[in-house]
Structure 1
Amino acid sequence: MDIVIHSSYLPHNDPDAALAFYRDTLGFEVRNDVGYNGMRWITVGPPEQPGTSIVLHPPAVDPGTTDDERRTITEMMAKGTYGGINLATKDLDATFGRLQAGDADIVQEPTEQPYGIRDCALRDPAGNMIRIQQLR
């Protein structure tokens, strides 16, 4: 089988803030920016990986989502428990330094985890948890 990860999805509640974070803070390139009915879907990804993307999407817009579910999703996003992604870098300390200098919402400084990796954690403007691991 020849299956690759093409894209993953993270919710956003402020497209301009999401765009600035993923483009300017993380250095991702913008691959698509589509508006529809006052909402925006923004596709970003690392320049070195043109086949892998993150689609930043408006949350809870599926027609079957109830008002109660929308409230729950909004609450979970605010707490950082709704969406997340793990990224990786060759130089975690340098990456962390740039993130810290860029005023990212740091949750955890680079740490040796008991399960064998070294990583740091931050939140994007929507509250999504982003963990960045040191590549071995």
Structure 2
Amino acid sequence: MIHRIAKTTIYVNNQDEAKQFWTEKLNFVTKIDATEGPLRWIEIAPQDSEWVTIVLYDKNLMKEQCPSANADYKTVVLSTEDLDNAYNQMKAKDVEVTDIVTMPYARLFTFKDQDGNEYILREDKF
């Protein structure tokens, strides 16, 4: 049946600004950036070999296409093996971050993108 998660979507106000944030501040790579008519499809990932991607989708276009869609929904948890290094790199690039907290299950912090969407970055040790 289902054997992997393929994509998650973030609805953004400006796709160029979103792409710039993720690629320049968080070092993601652009997997796809294609346009057909009013639709621009952008997929990014932490590295080129990553299977799961984030789609940066125009929020206003989604509201036009599907008025009942919750284009404000966002809960994305990202993973790193070196939380302190990621935290320091984001701060150096002026990404808005919270303090690192230690929970019973992981160390983590949250950060915001160019639209004020909030994400969790947690340290995973396997």
Query: Which ranges of structure 1 fall in alignment gaps of 5 or more residues?
Result: none
Q: What is the total number of aligned residue pairs between the two structures? A: 123
What is the match of residue 7 of structure 1? Answer: 7
Distance 1:34 1:103, change over 3 A: same
Q: Secondary structure at the match of 1:120?
A: strand
Displacement of 1:62 in angstroms is: 4.7
What is the match of residue 18 of structure 1? Answer: 18
What is the match of residue 130 of structure 1? Answer: 119
Q: Is the 8 A contact 1:28 1:44 kept in 2?
A: yes
What is the match of residue 101 of structure 2? Answer: 111
What is the match of residue 97 of structure 1? Answer: 88
Please, which of 60, 64, 67 is the counterpart of residue 65 of structure 1? 67
Displacement of 1:50 in angstroms is: 2.5
Equivalent positions of 1:72-87 (< 5 A) are: 73=71, 77=72, 82-87=73-78
- Percent of pairs with identical residues: 23
**Structure 1, 13-22 or 44-53: larger mean CA deviation:** 44-53
Question: Which ranges of 4 or more aligned residues in structure 1 deviate by more than 6 Å?
Answer: none
Computed over aligned residues only, the root mean square deviation of the Cα atoms, in angstroms, reads 2.2
Q: Is the 8 A contact 1:10 1:84 kept in 2?
A: no
Q: Distance in 1 between matches of 2:39 and 2:96?
A: 25
TM-score by length of 1: 0.78
Q: Secondary structure at the match of 1:5?
A: coil
Distance 1:132 1:64, change over 3 A: closer
Displacement of 1:116 in angstroms is: 2.3
> Which letter maps to 1:6?
A
1:40 aligns with 2:40: yes
Q: Distance in 2 between matches of 1:53 and 1:83?
A: 15
TM-score by length of 2: 0.84
Q: Distance in 2 between matches of 1:128 and 1:31?
A: 21
Q: Secondary structure at the match of 1:127?
A: coil
Q: Is the 8 A contact 2:29 2:48 kept in 1?
A: no
Displacement of 1:20 in angstroms is: 1.1
